Amino acid sequence: MPASREVVFVDGVRTPFGKSGPKGLYAETRADDLVVRVIRELMRRNPGLPPERVDEVAIAATTQTGDQGLTIGRSAAVLAGLPKSVPGYAIDRMCAGAMTAVTTVAGGISFGAYDVAIAGGVEHMGRHPMGEGADPNPRFLSEQLVDGSALVMGMTAENLHDRYPSITKERADAFAVASQEKAAKAYADGKIQRDLVPVATRKAAEGWGLATVDEAPRPGTTMAGLRDLRTPFRVHGRVTAGNASGINDGATGCIVAAEDVARELGLTPRMRLVSYAFAGVDPEVMGIGPIPATERALRLAGLSIDDIGLFEINEAFAVQVLAFLEHFGIADDDPRVNPYGGAIAFGHPLASSGVRLMIQLSRQFAERPDVRYGITTMCVGLGMGGTVIWENLA
C-alpha cells in the first residue's frame, strides 16, 4: 500500500466565457474544440511537463451528448495531440463537474495511481441546454421525493430567499453590483486576462473572429438598473437575470500533480490541496449545499472558518452566496470573498466553473503571501454542495 502523497495545483487556464445563443461568441464553435484549446495551452505554458507524463485527462460536462459526449476527456486528449497512451474520461456532477474532476484525480495522485493529471470541464449551454435529453423519473414527483421546484434552479433560489427572509432582493442586487464592479476592476488591473486562452471562432455569416475576453460582464451595472428587472421564476419574486449567473459557454482546465513530481519536473506548484468534501441537501434549496460541504471539509482539515483567508464562492445566485456568508457570520462585503468578482459577472458554464474558482484563488494566493488557507466552494443542482480547501504555497 503506497503512502499517501501531497497533491498540488500547478497551473490553470480557461477560455473566455461566452453568452449562449445564436449571437454568442461560440455559437458555431464545438464544445470539444474549446477543451482542446485549453489542454494545448496548459502544455504550452508548462514545457517542463513531457506529454507522455500526463497520466489521466478528466473532463466534466453536465450534458454529455453531441460534441460534449464521446468520453470527452479521452476524445479531447487525442484531438489535442497528447500521446495515445494518455487515457481520459468524462465526469458529471452538474455545476461541480470540474471541481469533482480535480478531486477525483487528486485522490488518484494521493493514492499513487497517477503522478500528473489534467482536469477541467466544459459546457456549451447554447448547443446543449441544461437537462437536454434528460428523462427525469416520474417517481421524483409522484412519490414526492422532491418538490416540483427542485428541477428549476431559479425556483430553488427563490425557495432560499424564503428560508432566509433577511436576504432581501435589495441585498442580492447590491451583491450583484459589487460582483460586476470587482470583475471590472480585476480586468482593468490585468488580473483576469493572464489565464485566458484566446480562441479562434468562426461563424458562417461573419467569418473568423478571436475570443479574448469574457462576453458576459456588465460593467456599470447599478442598483437602479437592477431594480425593475423581471422576476421570471415567481411573481413579485427576488431572483432576476441581474442577481444570478447567466447561461454561458466555456471550458477550463488545470494541471494537478504529486508535489514531489511537480518539483522533479521543474513545475511551480501554486497551492496544495488540504481537504475536500461534498454534501447533499434538500434539492428544493440546493443553494445551501456549500454550507455542509464546507463544514465537513473544515472538520477533515482540522480547521475553523476563521482560518480561511480567501473565499472563492461560485455565484450561481446572489442569494446562495449570501446564505453561506450569513451562516458563517461573514459580512456581505467582506474583502476576502470573491476579490475578483464572480459568476454573476463572468458567467457560469456549469461543469467548467469549479476550475475557474481555483484559477482565481491561486492568483490571489500569489498576491497574498500572508494568507495560508483559502477555499473554493459551490452549490450543485439536485441538492448538493462541494468545497475544496487549499493551502497557499506562496
- 230: pLDDT strictly greater than 70: yes
Catalytic residues: 95, 348, 379
Cβ–Cβ < 8 Å for 91, 97: yes
Residue 308's DSSP bridge partners are 373
81-96 per-position pLDDT tens digit = 999 999 999 999 999 9
Which domains does the chain carry?
A: 140-190+274-392 (3.40.47.10)
CA of residue 69 relative to chain centroid, distance: 19
Distance CA 99, CA 251 (A): 13
The pLDDT score that the predictor gives to residue 132 is 87
Q: How confident is the model at residue 195 (pLDDT cuts 50, 70, 90)?
A: very high
Mean pLDDT (the chain) is 96
For the chain, percent helix, then strand, then coil, each to nearest 5? Answer: 40, 20, 40
Given the C-alpha cell 485527462, which residue does it identify? Answer: 57
298-346 per-position pLDDT tens digit = 999 999 999 999 999 999 999 999 999 999 999 999 999 999 999 999 9
Burial 301-310 (b: 16+ CB within 10 A, else e): bebeeeebbb
- 389: pLDDT strictly greater than 70: yes
126-179 per-position pLDDT tens digit = 999 988 888 989 998 899 898 888 888 999 999 999 999 999 999 999 999 999
Q: How confident is the model at residue 354 (pLDDT cuts 50, 70, 90)?
A: very high
- 1: pLDDT strictly greater than 80: no
- 2: pLDDT strictly greater than 80: no
Residue 116's DSSP bridge partners are 257
